[in-house]
Amino acid sequence: MKTILITGASSGIGRAAALYFQEQGWNVIATMRSPEKETELGRLDRVLVSRLDVVREETIQEALSQGIERFGTIDVLLNNAGYAAFGAFEAASEEQIHRQFDVNVFGVFRMTQAILPHFRTNQEGTIINVSSIGGRVAFPLLTLYHASKWALEGFSESLYYELAGLKIRVKVVEPGNVHTDFTGRSLDLIRSDSLEAYKDYTETVLQKQVESFQANGSSPELIARTIYRAASDGTDQFRYLAGEDAEFVMNMRRERPDAEFMSWIAGSFR
């Protein structure tokens, strides 16, 4: 029986993945910052709910130890925890910039370094990083988020080669829009109230983003199924697009010259 450790399992994609993997007969270590608030996952067979904050090293080691003690091993690490900072880059505070990278990038670094000794001992393992099509294309007013996801893509691709000889697989799942709490816990709004030049554009883009999520977004459950395929297909495939809109946008990116593609993106937010 396989075991997966999932970060950010309290909601959205992480929670959907925890439920789906459990349904498929896997052991699940569902980690989150506030496990005391979780009332459902912990009652399921083969699910261990553990405290883990990807910016706090001590919680990472404790969650790994608890998971291995409970299930004997960990076969797959799903680096899912993350969020998006939205707003004008000029208005972003140093704290907001650092936090975006601390969670989305350095959190993945910490988790990966923590699990690798276990995978090397086992002479196998799989690391799945939840990225985004936003790691290969960009949209306005998401500069920090895109920078973090492009960093994650480069890290993952380099690590893919680095670990191949150790029989450790690295994979990236790239969702498009997802029906999660985009304007709530998953979004950090960068306030630019004092910068009048950005006010109207920010309001327009945010409204367009919300409309796009509502009209084109995939369910977290669909993304979870793509993650399961990545975890269980036994191949060395690196990238997995998730969602029809992700496929559409990436096809546009491949087929159109830069100027034409960027003009299309710009026009989508007018």
Number of neighbouring beta carbons within 10 Å of residue 270: 8
**Helix extents (H) in the chain:** 12-23, 57-71, 94-101, 107-122, 143-164, 196-216, 220-232, 244-255, 258-268
Catalytic residue from among 20, 132, 149, 218: 149
Residue 142 structure tokens: 């998401």
Catalytic residue from among 20, 145, 160, 198: 145
Distance CA 120, CA 96 (A): 35
Burial classification of residue 100, based on how many CB atoms lie within 10 Å of its CB (0-12 exposed, 13-18 middle, 19 or more buried):
buried
Is 65 one of the catalytic residues? no
Which residue, among 206, 194, 208, has the nearest Cα to 268 in the 3D structure? Answer: 208
Which residue, among 75, 82, 77, 84, has the nearest Cα to 33 in the 3D structure? Answer: 82
Distance CA 126, CA 78 (A): 8
State the amino acid at position 90 in one-letter form.
E
What sign has the CA pseudo-torsion 19, 62, 2, 111?
Answer: positive
Catalytic residue from among 131, 156, 192, 218: 131
Is 131 one of the catalytic residues? yes
Is 149 one of the catalytic residues? yes
Residue that has been written with the tokens 């030049």 in this structure: 197
Q: CA of 243: how far to CAs of 9, 72, 115, in Å?
A: 20, 34, 29
Residue 195 structure tokens: 């910068």
Query: What amino acid positions are annotated as catalytic residues?
Result: 131, 145, 149
